């Protein structure tokens, strides 16, 4: 079945560092791909999306490019802030109209 694999956390960075969180997927078709973010004590919220190959999703300084050839959707940000500390989930949306989530990566940014 379809699945999503994320880099294991936790990830700890200093403020203004460059961030990459790796995400790869397995899917039988051409899924849409997403990053969701969970801030402490809250539910998940959609951060960005890409619906077809080579699309780049972006929001709040975060970016991710849908790479069909490497089945990847890595999350990047050029300069992280303390407020970016959260758990990040990569997800795909499959034909059965359901989201499939990765295991989540906890990010901590130190001032």
**Residues making contact with another protein (CB under 8 A):** 4, 32, 34, 41-46, 49, 89, 91, 93, 97-99, 101-104
Q: What's the CA gap between 60 and 63, in Å, rounded?
A: 9
Q: Which is nearer to another protein, 14 or 26 (CB)?
A: 26
Q: What's the CA gap between 67 and 29, in Å, rounded?
A: 14
Instruction: Give how far the C-alpha of residue 108 lies from the chain's centroid of Cα atoms, to the nearest Å.
Output: 15
Q: Which is nearer to another protein, 78 or 95 (CB)?
A: 95
Helix (H, G, I), strand (E, B) or coil at 9: coil
Minimum CB distance to another protein, residue 72 (Å): 17
Q: Which is nearer to another protein, 6 or 84 (CB)?
A: 6
């Amino acid at each position: 079945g379809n699945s999503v694999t994320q880099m294991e956390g936790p990830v700890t960075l200093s403020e203004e560092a460059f961030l990459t969180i790796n995400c790869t997927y397995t899917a039988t078709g051409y899924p849409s791909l997403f990053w969701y973010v969970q801030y402490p004590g809250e539910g998940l919220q959609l951060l960005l999306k890409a619906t077809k190959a080579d699309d780049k999703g972006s929001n709040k300084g975060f970016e991710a490019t849908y790479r069909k050839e490497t089945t990847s959707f890595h999350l990047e940000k050029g300069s992280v802030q303390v407020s970016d500390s959260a758990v990040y989930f990569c997800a795909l949306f499959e034909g059965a109209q359901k989201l499939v989530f990765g295991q989540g990566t906890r990010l901590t940014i130190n001032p």
